[in-house]
């Protein structure tokens, strides 16, 4: 059996002709940065998300960095202010906060939903809190009415990390990236909407935020050779924008395929060592990943090896939580080192099964059979 965790080669091959034509168009145009392709994709992506603005940038980490930096430049946040963030996220969410000399306040997830536990947010709010960051981790909608109410009551910005949630919807039908005050998106090749290299975007309805983000990502310049901020070069290039504009058309179709695979997993996985996260309504999960929880690290690692021996790829997202990483070992907010037992347990027990726009139901069924036949390590 050979069922890779995700084959980017097959994903690209799904729309190879259109992608190749788009790349050729840019190559032949002689215009490679800040041109028509960016403008077109930004418009289409903003329409898709449902915001007034989408601003392309170099990658998802930068998108998040620029949001916080723009709020600082606009005088809405200042270094030392606190930002609430789920403790169990890809480290980029936390890096964007610390990069701006803001203080991350890590909040445990709900172990059933795997996203931030909204019942733990209010106790984490202090007079220094300026924002709540939610991460729609694994493609799962993280916004709840409680989050919205807390933002209003305490006058906090709501920032969404949409790196894993392209097309995911809230209970009232809003697409992720249009729910908060600003959202960071990643177009890393493996994401639900992936480029053929790095890419990212910020979506917002706030014209000031959009303008400052665009300026920061272009050396801090809105007008050629005039610099309002000390920014960086963090732009989305024209080839990636053209590729993304092709792939955006197929995103809903791809997400629906992911749902079919996920529903097959939900309906058929049955192993007393394994717990599946709470099953959400289809619209609220775009299944960027299909996480399962395996009873104990030994069994989790055992299942990974067992699948590998039988030709099936699986990956843990993520084996070391941000607060346990060396880069934060001496951080003031992490001294003494935080104890976040739910997050730490998830790092030991999570394993992601193959899912994507190209895996077949037959392949998914082979994965199920193997998972169900796994016995205690
Ligand atoms: C991928 C990812 C990012 C970073 O995006 P890049 O484009 O890889 O920089 C940020 N947050 C989360 C949750 C991610 O999964």
Residue 377: its pLDDT value, please?
75
Tens-binned pLDDT, residue by residue, of the chain (377 aa) = 899 999 999 999 999 999 999 999 999 999 999 999 999 999 999 999 999 999 999 999 999 999 999 999 999 999 999 999 999 999 999 999 999 999 999 999 999 999 999 999 999 999 999 999 999 999 999 999 999 999 999 999 999 999 999 999 999 999 999 999 999 999 999 999 999 999 999 999 999 999 999 999 999 999 999 999 999 999 999 999 999 999 999 999 999 999 999 999 999 999 999 999 999 999 999 999 999 999 999 999 999 999 999 999 999 999 999 999 999 999 999 999 999 999 999 999 999 999 999 999 999 999 999 999 999 87
Residue 355: its pLDDT value, please?
98
CA distance 215 to 221: 5
Atom from ligand 1 closest to the CA of residue 198: 7
Residue 1: its pLDDT value, please?
84
Q: Is 59 in the pocket of ligand 1 (CB under 6 A)?
A: yes
> What's the Cα-to-Cα distance from 31 to each of 23, 25, 45, 55, 103, rounded to whole Å?
12, 10, 21, 19, 41
| C-beta separation of 258 from 357 below 8 A | yes
Q: Is 67 in the pocket of ligand 1 (CB under 6 A)?
A: no
Query: Environment class of residue 329 by beta-carbon count within 10 Å: exposed (0-12), middle (13-18) or buried (19+)?
Result: exposed
Atom from ligand 1 closest to the CA of residue 199: 7
| Beta pairing partners, 109 | 116
Other C-beta atoms lying within 10 Å of the C-beta of residue 229: 17
Atom from ligand 1 closest to the CA of residue 62: 9
Query: Environment class of residue 67 by beta-carbon count within 10 Å: exposed (0-12), middle (13-18) or buried (19+)?
Result: buried
Q: Is 97 in the pocket of ligand 1 (CB under 6 A)?
A: no
CA distance 77 to 150: 18
Residue 335: its pLDDT value, please?
97
CA distance 366 to 310: 10
Residue 18: its pLDDT value, please?
98
């Amino acid at each position: 059996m050979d069922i890779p965790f995700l084959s980017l080669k097959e994903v690209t091959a799904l729309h190879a002709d259109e992608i190749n034509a788009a790349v050729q168009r840019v190559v032949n145009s002689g215009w490679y940065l800040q041109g028509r392709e960016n403008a077109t994709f930004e418009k289409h992506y903003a329409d898709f998300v449902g915001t007034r603005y989408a601003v392309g940038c170099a990658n998802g980490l930068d998108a998040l960095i620029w949001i916080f930096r723009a709020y600082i430049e606009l005088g809405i946040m200042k270094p030392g202010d606190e930002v609430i963030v789920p403790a169990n996220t890809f480290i980029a969410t936390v890096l964007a906060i610390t990069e701006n000399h803001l203080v991350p306040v890590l909040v445990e997830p709900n172990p059933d939903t795997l996203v931030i536990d909204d019942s733990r947010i209010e106790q984490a709010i202090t007079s220094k809190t300026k924002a709540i960051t939610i991460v729609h981790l694994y493609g799962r909608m993280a916004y709840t009415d409680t989050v919205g109410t807390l933002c209003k009551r305490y006058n906090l910005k709501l920032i969404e990390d949409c790196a894993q949630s392209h097309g995911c919807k809230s209970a009232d039908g809003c697409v992720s990236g249009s729910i908060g005050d600003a959202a960071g998106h990643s177009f890393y090749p493996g994401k639900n909407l992936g480029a053929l290299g790095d890419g990212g975007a910020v979506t917002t309805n706030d014209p000031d935020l959009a303008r400052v983000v665009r300026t920061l990502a272009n050396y801090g310049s809105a007008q050629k050779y005039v610099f309002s901020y000390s920014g960086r070069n963090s732009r989305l290039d024209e080839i990636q924008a053209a590729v993304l504009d092709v792939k955006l058309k197929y995103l809903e179709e791809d997400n629906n395929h992911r749902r079919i695979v996920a529903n097959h997993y939900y309906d058929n996985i049955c192993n007393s060592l394994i717990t599946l996260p709470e099953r959400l309504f289809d619209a609220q999960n775009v299944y960027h990943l299909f996480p399962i929880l395996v009873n104990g690290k030994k069994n989790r690692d055992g299942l990974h090896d067992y699948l590998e021996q039988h030709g099936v790829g699986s990956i843990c997202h993520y084996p070391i939580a941000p607060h346990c990483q060396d880069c934060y070992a001496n951080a003031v907010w992490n001294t003494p080192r935080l104890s976040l037992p739910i997050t730490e347990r998830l790092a030991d027990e999570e394993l992601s099964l193959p899912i994507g726009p190209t895996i077949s139901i037959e392949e998914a069924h082979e994965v199920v059979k193997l998972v169900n036949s796994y016995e205690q390590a």
